């Protein structure tokens, strides 16, 4: 066997980089049970390159056999890559893809799988190198990637996604998987560049089932073939099981087929009599014991039994007992999943509990000796060897959390007996951290309390500090800033006490990367970042910026790269709060692209980038960041960022005019936030729904929300409820309680100014402008608008203005007519352009005599008068009182210089404030210039 050595990358200590096996790069030879399938071969041929073919179906549906058959007869070169878990990393995967292409023609690629650049490149860089290289090849070829379902690494998904989105014209990509891979396939479907061969196409037809048995020399009547085909539903592995029983003659064909016709049980129910009981006792024992493991080897069998496993393994291989090799060296194997489940059910019957526990305990020791820690922990837990499990877990917990391998880790912790955690503060604190990172905030709260109690009882200050800082992180995810700051500061105090007690010689014989002082520094850096986050969540932007800048400098060390990136993301969040959007964008892009960043922090960076793009009305860019964050979340068990994602998605939907989708996303954000215990996001989601409903004129829904949210005009101006209060102020205006709305907004403005939250200052000013206009306090309205524009112009803020629609158009036109400085005037024109307004469209909305008089609410009343509604009907439509309607009508009469409803409507149409009825003609002089 020819192999090319691939050295282990020091940057990937948790990946076991073995040799690059050329045998993985060649399609398997067709087996004896080969069945010609021209319908599928034609589908694989296709009629063009730059196409993706996806084979999706469970195990045992002949995907690999079909692809091997196609590759053998294809007229174009076919590069082949059979994946295993060893290629579950972007750099390793890319190296194998290059090796597969070189296997068919070294001239197709200039890249070398041993190129050291591959080992340090990001997935984006790997994809670029691969795409450019493939595109330069002159001849078309196909690349088959088999068994993609073994891949769960986001980096590999990113490389393949790039191939899909920028498919070179000379490449035909074929991927097989047991389930649909997490790729963005919708665009390929629309472009007609995706072919999917699913389970319905892969299953044998009745004719193919007949051909299968005939190829094995099994003569069956047509009705018997139909019976077997019906029982197996065309499942190829099931037909193979039936064939094994028929070929080896454990029972007569007639008896077997008769039982297949009359029994309602599935085919696997016959495995006991037709397969297992036909084996000698020593082979049965081998099958039952090895099936307890997801994968096994002869050495593992020897470790759990003390007997040589190689002779028995060879007998099982010769008997073709549904055993599948996992590596080219034929060292590791597993059974077909249905056969394995059957064997496990039999092991539960034939092996007593003590024997099964002893098997797993021995396996755990052996796995540990082989450096297979994860499998060793699982075996120890299954064997109830709790001390062995705990000792093996300790060294890998931090790396697993860093990689976000949290699901299995949490399952291990949950399996440990409570007494073990109660006696081990270090393990208890790590369990708390695991739950916090997943987002199981309720369970995490209990785990944190237990870890703190155990650590205090045993005087373990380091574990106590770790549990306390885990509590701070939990408070951050649940948006509880007061607790967050308190816990972060307490954790920092504990770390200071520990540092004072530490002696430098304690680390003299210790690896510097694992030293006591390094651990203290890492935790201290995180505590500082968390404190800054708490200050930001309280709205203290200026102080938060000072603290996070200092935290970032504190973490600017080679041994704290993850904490440095966490501080970078937090600084980006603070800069959004102070409306320094360009600086925030640069920082967040830098962090999102960094290799030394926790996945959770990267998602927050992506969500923050989407928020900035949304404010700049760059909706496509915002959606791309949201999609990338969603893809990352879908591949993990982490749930804390889902509510934030849906909340931002709702705002993007609203900006696109997809109001139903916006409300649906906001409601989903609220549901998920409530489930995770984040009441702040739940309240903000409900407020967003009310805001969208109010913008559509659905006043009843918005009014009901104010009661459900328990809001009042004299509420304190707390930042934690700012988003709700901003929407509430609009509801008050819609109810003609404008004075109350302005009073609330002015208090909010003072607080935002005090804290340096420039972004909030602009948002509040925009609301105040509309409120002042309602009260005809036009000087105040224009002054507030001038200030908002001055702050927004240099910061590229658009969405805060454009989402206001027609009322903002009116105000911007007023400001434009009054004259503004060059920069502000340019920003006004940009805003009007963003809102799609042209001079011809806006001119009819304004009249020199009335532009500063008629309010948006009075225009609503005027339109309802024009369609013939009485005062009571208008009040019901707008959810206001009849007396308020009468006041608006009286104001309109005065401003229009009329005394009746009919005259008011005629005058408004003459001035262009209302549309004319169809078929009417313009009155002479009916223009803005002649109407004076």
In this predicted model, what pLDDT tens digit does every residue of 24-58 receive, in sequence order?
888 887 655 567 888 888 888 866 666 889 998 76
Nearest to 451 by CA among 474, 433, 475: 433
Distance CA 158, CA 126 (A): 9
Distance CA 33, CA 37 (A): 12
With a cut of 60, say whether residue 255 has pLDDT above it.
no
Instruction: State the pLDDT at residue 76.
Output: 86
Q: Residue 192: which residues within 8 A CB-CB, separation 6 or more? A: none
- DSSP notation for 347-361: HHHHS-HHHHHHHHH
Tokens matching residue 857: 């609410």
Q: Residue 416: which residues within 8 A CB-CB, separation 6 or more? A: 381, 386, 389, 390, 427
225 — pLDDT class (breaks 50, 70, 90): confident
Question: For the residues 154-164, what does the mean pLDDT come to?
Answer: 90
Cβ contact 764:582 at 8 Å: no
18 — pLDDT class (breaks 50, 70, 90): very low
Tokens matching residue 873: 């009907």
Cβ contact 236:211 at 8 Å: no
pLDDT, tens only, 634-685: 888 888 899 999 999 999 999 888 888 899 999 999 999 998 888 899 999 9
* Rg (the chain; Cα; Å): 35
Range with the lowest mean pLDDT among 289-303, 347-361, 497-511, 833-847?
833-847
With a cut of 80, say whether residue 190 has pLDDT above it.
no
The CA-atom distances, in angstroms, between 828 and each of 149, 760, 771, 793 are 53, 20, 20, 9
Instruction: State the pLDDT at residue 271.
Output: 57
Paired with 173 in beta bridges are 52, 143
Instruction: State the pLDDT at residue 13.
Output: 37
Instruction: State the pLDDT at residue 807.
Output: 75
Question: For the residues 702-730, what does the mean pLDDT come to?
Answer: 92
Count CA atoms closer than 13 A to 812's CA, side-chain side. 30
The CA-atom distances, in angstroms, between 409 and each of 300, 374, 432, 523 are 24, 9, 11, 21
Distance CA 72, CA 68 (A): 6
Write out the H or E segment, with its range, that includes residue 145.
Answer: strand 141-146
Helix residue ranges, H only, 657-698: 659-676, 679-695
Distance CA 559, CA 673 (A): 35
Distance CA 344, CA 287 (A): 9
Distance CA 802, CA 185 (A): 33
Question: For the residues 287-313, what does the mean pLDDT come to?
Answer: 91
Instruction: State the pLDDT at residue 843.
Output: 40
Instruction: State the pLDDT at residue 447.
Output: 92
740 — pLDDT class (breaks 50, 70, 90): very high
Distance CA 322, CA 59 (A): 12
By percentage, how much of the chain surpasses pLDDT 70? 85
Task: Characterize the bridge pairing of strands 323-325 and 171-177.
Answer: unpaired
pLDDT, tens only, 92-143: 899 999 989 888 877 777 888 888 788 778 888 888 888 888 888 778 889 9
241 — pLDDT class (breaks 50, 70, 90): low
Instruction: State the pLDDT at residue 245.
Output: 60
With a cut of 70, say whether residue 6 has pLDDT above it.
no
Task: Characterize the bridge pairing of strands 20-21 and 51-56.
Answer: unpaired
Distance CA 644, CA 635 (A): 17
Distance CA 161, CA 89 (A): 14
Torsion from C-alpha of 402, 407, 412, 415, nearest 10 degrees? 150
With a cut of 60, say whether residue 77 has pLDDT above it.
yes
Nearest to 575 by CA among 395, 446, 431, 758: 758
Nearest to 134 by CA among 173, 161, 91: 173
Cβ contact 670:651 at 8 Å: no
Distance CA 824, CA 753 (A): 21
The 10 Å Cβ neighbour count of residue 46 is 15
Distance CA 225, CA 211 (A): 10
Helix residue ranges, H only, 216-297: 222-232, 236-248, 253-262, 271-274, 281-290
Of residues 505 and 781, more confidence is placed in 781
Instruction: State the pLDDT at residue 848.
Output: 44
Predicted structure pTM score: 0.64
Question: For the residues 266-290, what does the mean pLDDT come to?
Answer: 73
Tokens matching residue 194: 């995706």
Distance CA 159, CA 845 (A): 53
């Amino acid at each position: 066997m020819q192999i090319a050595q691939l050295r282990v990358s020091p940057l990937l200590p948790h990946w076991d980089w073995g040799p690059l096996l050329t045998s993985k790069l060649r399609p398997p030879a067709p087996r004896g049970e080969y069945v010609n399938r021209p319908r599928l071969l034609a589908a694989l041929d296709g009629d063009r390159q730059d196409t993706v073919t996806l084979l999706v179906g469970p195990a045992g549906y002949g995907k690999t056999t079909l692809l091997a058959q196609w590759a053998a007869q294809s007229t174009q070169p076919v590069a082949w890559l059979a994946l295993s878990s060893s290629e579950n990393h972007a750099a390793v995967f890319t190296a194998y893809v290059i090796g597969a292409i070189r296997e068919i023609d070294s001239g197709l690629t200039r890249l070398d799988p041993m190129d050291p650049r591959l080992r340090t490149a990001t997935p984006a860089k790997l994809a670029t190198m691969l795409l450019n290289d493939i595109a330069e090849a002159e001849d078309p070829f196909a690349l088959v990637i088999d068994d993609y379902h073994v891949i769960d690494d986001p980096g590999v998904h990113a490389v393949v996604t790039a191939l899909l989105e920028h498919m070179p014209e000379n490449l035909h990509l074929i991927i097989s998987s047991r389930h649909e891979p997490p790729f963005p396939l919708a665009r390929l479907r629309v472009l007609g560049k995706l072919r999917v061969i699913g389970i319905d196409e892969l299953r044998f037809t009745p004719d193919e089932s007949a051909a299968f048995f005939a190829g094995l020399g099994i003569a069956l009547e047509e009705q018997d073939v139909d019976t077997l085909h019906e029982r197996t539903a065309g499942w190829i592995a099931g037909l193979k099981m039936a064939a094994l029983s028929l070929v080896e003659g454990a029972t007569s064909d007639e008896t077997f087929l008769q039982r297949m016709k009359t029994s309602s049980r599935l085919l696997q129910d016959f495995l006991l009599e037709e397969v297992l009981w036909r084996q000698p006792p020593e082979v049965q024992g081998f099958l039952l014991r090895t099936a307890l493991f997801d994968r096994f080897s002869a050495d593992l069998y020897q470790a759990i039994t003390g007997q040589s496993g190689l002779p028995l393994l060879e007998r099982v291989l010769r008997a073709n007992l549904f055993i599948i090799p996992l590596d080219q060296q034929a060292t590791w194997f597993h059974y077909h999943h249905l056969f394995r489940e059957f064997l496990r059910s039999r092991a539960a019957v034939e092996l007593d509990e003590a024997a099964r526990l002893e098997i797993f305990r021995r396996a755990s020791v052996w796995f540990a000796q082989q450096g297979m820690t994860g499998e060793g922990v699982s075996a120890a837990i299954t064997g109830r060897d709790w001390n062995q499990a705990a000792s093996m877990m300790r060294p890998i917990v931090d790396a697993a959390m860093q990689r976000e391998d949290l699901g299995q880790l949490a399952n291990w912790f949950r399996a440990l007996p409570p007494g073990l955690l109660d006696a081990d503060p270090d393990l208890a604190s790590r369990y708390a951290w695991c739950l916090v990172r997943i987002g199981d905030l309720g369970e995490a709260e209990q785990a944190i309390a237990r870890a703190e109690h155990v650590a205090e009882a045993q005087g373990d200050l380091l574990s106590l500090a770790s549990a306390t800082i885990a509590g701070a992180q939990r408070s951050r995810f649940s948006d509880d800033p007061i607790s967050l700051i308190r816990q972060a500061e307490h954790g920092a105090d504990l770390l200071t006490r520990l540092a004072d007690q530490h002696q430098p010689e304690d680390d003299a014989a210790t690896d510097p990367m694992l030293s006591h002082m390094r651990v203290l520094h890492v935790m201290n850096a995180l505590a500082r970042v968390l404190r800054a986050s708490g200050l930001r969540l309280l709205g203290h932007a200026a102080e938060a910026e000072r603290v996070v800048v200092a935290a970032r400098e504190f973490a600017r060390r080679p041994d704290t790269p993850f904490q440095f990136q966490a501080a970078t993301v937090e600084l980006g969040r603070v800069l959004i709060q102070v409306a320094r959007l360009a600086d925030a964008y640069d920082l967040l892009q830098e962090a999102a692209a960094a290799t030394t960043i926790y996945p959770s922090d990267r998602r927050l960076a992506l969500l923050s980038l989407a928020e900035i793009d949304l404010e700049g009305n760059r909706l496509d860019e915002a959606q791309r960041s949201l999609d990338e964050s969603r893809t990352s979340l879908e591949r993990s068990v982490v749930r804390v960022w889902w509510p934030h994602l849906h909340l931002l998605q709702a705002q993007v939907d609203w900006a696109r005019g997809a109001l139903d989708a916006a409300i649906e996303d906001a409601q989903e954000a609220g549901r998920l936030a409530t489930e995770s215990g984040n009441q702040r996001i739940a309240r903000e989601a409900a407020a967003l729904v009310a805001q969208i409903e109010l913008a559509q004129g659905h006043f009843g829904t918005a009014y009901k929300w104010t009661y459900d949210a328990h809001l009042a005009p004299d509420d304190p101006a707390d930042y934690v409820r700012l988003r709700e209060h901003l929407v509430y102020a609009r509801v008050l205006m819609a109810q003609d309680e404008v004075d109350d709305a302005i009073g609330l907004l002015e208090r909010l403005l003072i607080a935002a100014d005090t804290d340096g939250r420039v972004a909030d200052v602009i948002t509040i000013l925009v609301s105040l402008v509309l409120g002042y206009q309602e009260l005809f306090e036009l000087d105040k309205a224009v002054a507030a608008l001038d200030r908002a524009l001055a702050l927004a112009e240099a910061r590229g803020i658009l969405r805060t203005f454009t989402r206001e629609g027609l009322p903002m158009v009116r105000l911007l036109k007023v400001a434009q007519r009054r004259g503004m400085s060059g920069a502000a005037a340019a920003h006004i024109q940009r805003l009007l352009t963003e809102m799609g307004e042209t001079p011809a469209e806006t001119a009819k909305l304004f009249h020199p005599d009335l532009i500063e008089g008629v309010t948006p609410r009075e225009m609503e009343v005027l339109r309802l008068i024009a369609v013939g509604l009485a005062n009571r009907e208008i009040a019901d439509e707008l959810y206001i009182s009849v007396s308020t309607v009468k006041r608006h009508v009286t104001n309109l009469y005065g401003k229009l210089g009329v005394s009746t409803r009919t005259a008011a409507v005629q005058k408004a149409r003459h001035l262009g404030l209302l549309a004319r009825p169809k078929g009417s003609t313009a009155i002479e002089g009916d223009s803005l210039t002649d109407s004076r």
